[in-house]
Amino acid sequence: MWGSPWRVVGTGSLVRRGSSSTSSRAPEVVLTHERYPVQRLPFSVVSEEDRAAFERMVPGRVIMDPEELEASNVDWLRSMRGCSKVLLRPRTSEEVSHILRYCHERNLAVNTQGGNTGMVGGSVPVFDEIILSTALMNQVISFHDMSGTLVCQAGCVLEELSRHVEERGFVMPLDLGAKGTCHIGGNLATNAGGLRFLRYGSLRGTVLGLEAVLADGTVLNCLMSLRKDNTGYDLKQLFIGSEGTLGVITAVSILCPPKPRAVNVAFLGCPGFAEVLQTFHTCRGMLGEILSAFEFMDATCMQLVGRHLHLASPVQESPFYVLVETSGSRAEHDAEKLSGFLEQLLGSGLVTDGTLATDQRKIKALWALRERITEALSRDGYVYKYDISLPVERLYDLVPDLRARLGPRAKHVVGYGHLGDGNLHLNVTAEAFSAALLGELEPYVYEWTAGQRGSVSAEHGVGFKKRDVLGYSKPPEALHLMRQLKTLLDPKGILNPYKTLPAQA
C-alpha cells in the first residue's frame, strides 16, 4: 500500500548483450542451415587470393582466427550459427567502399554486423558470408551545441554516445536494454524503437541524415544535419530499417533533445490488465507532455528477473507491474503533476502498491527490472520471441490464450513491453528448441496478430527468423515492391542475403 515505506531495489549493472556470459554453460549452437530449411545461394567462396586482397584493403584487420570468428558467427540469443571464415574490420567508409566494390565484382556475400545484439538473426551470417564489422568505425565526427545534432560513425556504441551528449546537456533520442553493446548503425538498420519512443518518436523523424555504401561500392552521402530538407526523395529512409540489405550504413546524423532537468520513475503494481490500461489513460491525461515512458510487465517476468538475476521486486507481488517515467524541465512542476497522478491512482484502486524514485541510482535500479527481462529470459532456456504491435486494448489477450494452448510444453509464457506504443514482447521459454513447439506457436501467433490488423514485427525487425511471415502484415503488392527495391539497389543480392525479404518460392 502507499502507506508502507517505499522500497527500492539495489542497482545491478547491466550485463552486456553480446558478451559471452552464458557461453560457458551453454551447449554448442546448431548451425542455422541444419536447423532451418535454407539453401546456400550461388555466391563465390572466399579464396586465398580474396583474403590477400582484403589484407591490402584493411591491413591487419582481416580476422580468420576461429575463436574470434565464433563470437560473430553466433547471435547473442544463441539461436543461430553461421560458418563465416573471414571477418573484416574497416575504419572508414572508403575502406567499406573498397571492400564492397570487390565483393560485388567477385560475387561474394557480405553480412554487416554492429554490436550483434539483434533479436531476429539479422546480424549473423547464415552460411559463410563475409562478416563486415563496424566495430572500428567508432568515432564521433561532430556535435553541435546549439541544435543538439550529433554526427558519428556507424560503429559508435549507443551508451558511449549517450555519455558524450549528456556531458553536453542533451540525450540520445533512443535508449534500449542493449545500449552497452549495440551500435548506432545497427540501431538504424533495425529501426530500433526502445524505451524513449513514446516521448521522442521514431528514428524516421530523429535521424537527420546518414551515409551508406551501396552494394557496388558507391558512397551515398546523405549526411545532412538539418531539421528540414525537402530536396527530393528522402533516400535515407531506404536504409533505416532495411537491415543492411540495401546498403551498409557508415555514418549517422541524429537530433538529440535537450537533457531533461528532472526525471522521476514510479513503479506500480496493478491488479489486472484492465487496470493497467486505465492507469495509462489516467497517466496521459494528468502527466501530459512530461510522460516519457510507460512500460508494463507481468508477474512471470518479475519472477524470472528474481530467479535468474536476483533482482527483488520493489513492490508487493501483483499480477502486473507498470513503470512510468517523467522527464521535464522543472522539478517542482513535475513532482506536483506526479503526486496528483499517484493520489488519483490510490483513490481509484487502479494500483495496489507503488514506489517512486527521483535519484539516479534508484531510477536505474527500477529500470533494470524492465530492461533485464530479455536477459532473464535467455537464462531460462531456449526463447521463442515475438515482438508484435496490436491495438492497445487487446495487447495482453494473446498471453493467457497461449498459456492455455501450450500447457506444460512451455516452461514460461510471458508478456511485457512498451504499452504506450501498443508494442507487446511475447516470449515463450522451453528447455531446448523444439520443432513441435514451434509448430504450436507458428503460424498461430501470426494469424492471431493479423486478425487484429497488428504487425508481426513491431521494432525488432525481420532478419532471418521473420522473413517468411511478412505476408501477415504486408499485402503482396508491398512485398513485390520490396523485391523490386532490393533488385534495384543490390542486383546480385550480396548484401545480407537470406534476410528481410521472403525466401523466393
Of residues 389-418, those binding its own copies (CB under 8 A) = 389-393, 418
Residues 175-194 contacting its own copies, CB under 8 A:
190-191, 193
Q: How many CB atoms lie within 10 A of CB 310?
A: 10
Q: Judged by CB under 8 A, which stretch of 28-36, 126-134, 218-226, 268-276 contacts its own copies?
A: 218-226
Candidates 152-160, 298-306, 377-385, 481-489 — which segment interacts with its own copies by CB under 8 A?
A: 481-489
- Among the candidate windows 39-47, 67-75, 327-335, 367-375, which touches its own copies by CB under 8 A? 327-335
| Separation between Cα atoms, residue 295 and residue 279, nearest integer Å | 11
Binder to its own copies among 473, 494, 495, 498 (CB under 8 A)? 473
Segment interacting with its own copies, rule: CB under 8 A, options 46-54, 74-82, 175-183, 230-238: 230-238
For residue 375, report the phi and psi dihedrals to the nearest 5 degrees. Answer: -65, -45
Stretches 102-110, 265-273, 376-384, 461-469: which one binds its own copies (CB under 8 A)? 461-469
CB of 155 within 8 A of CB of 108? Answer: no
Binding mask 329-348 for its own copies (x = CB under 8 A): xx--x--xx-----------
Q: Which of residues 242-261 bind its own copies (CB under 8 A)?
A: 242, 246, 258, 260-261
C-alpha cell at 17: 548483450
Cβ of residue 16: shortest distance to its own copies, in angstroms?
Answer: 23
Q: Which of 233, 404, 407, 504 is in the footprint of its own copies by CB under 8 A? A: 233
Smaller CB distance to its own copies: residue 259 or 364? 259
Cβ neighbours of residue 139 under 8 Å, at least 6 residues apart?
Answer: 152, 153, 156
Rounded (10°) CA dihedral 384, 389, 390, 392:
110
Alpha helices in 107-249 (DSSP H): 158-166, 184-190, 197-200, 203-206, 236-239
CA distance 373 to 21: 16
Q: Which of 132, 266, 369, 462 binds its own copies (CB under 8 A)?
A: 462
Rank residues 38 and 479 by Cβ distance to its own copies and give the closer one. 479
Nearer to its own copies among residue 23 and residue 202 (C-beta)? 202
Q: Nearest approach, Cβ of 225 to its own copies (angstroms)?
A: 7
Q: Radius of gyration over alpha carbons of the chain, in Å?
A: 23
Rounded CA-CA distance 471/455 in Å is: 10
Amino acid making up residue 295: E
List Cβ neighbours of 381 (8 Å cut-off, separation of 6 or more). Answer: 411, 429, 430, 431, 432
Q: Which amino acid is at 36?
A: Y
Toward its own copies, which CB reaches closer, 307 or 453?
453
C-alpha dihedral (262, 268, 270, 273), degrees to nearest 10: 50
One of 151, 184, 222, 342 touching its own copies (CB under 8 A): 222
Q: What is the DSSP letter of 57?
A: H
According to the binding rule CB under 8 A, does residue 349 interact with its own copies? no
Closest by CA to 120, choosing from 479, 468, 437, 409, is: 468
Q: Which of residues 147-176 bind its own copies (CB under 8 A)?
A: 147
Part of the chain binding its own copies (CB under 8 A), chosen from 69-77, 83-91, 216-224, 306-314: 216-224
Among 75, 380, 459, 490, binds its own copies (CB under 8 A): 459
290 touches its own copies (CB under 8 A): yes
Min. distance of Cβ 9 from its own copies in angstroms?
29
Terminal Cα-to-Cα distance of the chain (whole angstroms): 58
- The residue type found at 358 is T
353 binds its own copies (CB under 8 A): no
Shortest Cβ 335–its own copies spacing (Å): 11
Q: Is 281 in the site for its own copies (CB under 8 A)?
A: yes
Alpha-carbon torsion angle 43, 45, 51, 56, nearest 10: -20
Q: Which is nearer to its own copies, 314 or 463 (CB)?
A: 463
Choose which of 138, 485, 492, 493 interacts with its own copies (CB under 8 A): 485
- The answer to whether residue 202 forms part of the interface with its own copies (CB under 8 A) is yes
Answer whether 425's CB lies under 8 Å from 450's CB.
Answer: no
Q: Which stretch binds its own copies (CB under 8 A): 74-82, 97-105, 130-138, 483-491?
A: 483-491
- Omega prior to 443 cis, within 30 of 0: yes
In the bound complex, what is the minimum distance in angstroms from residue 479's beta carbon to its own copies? 7
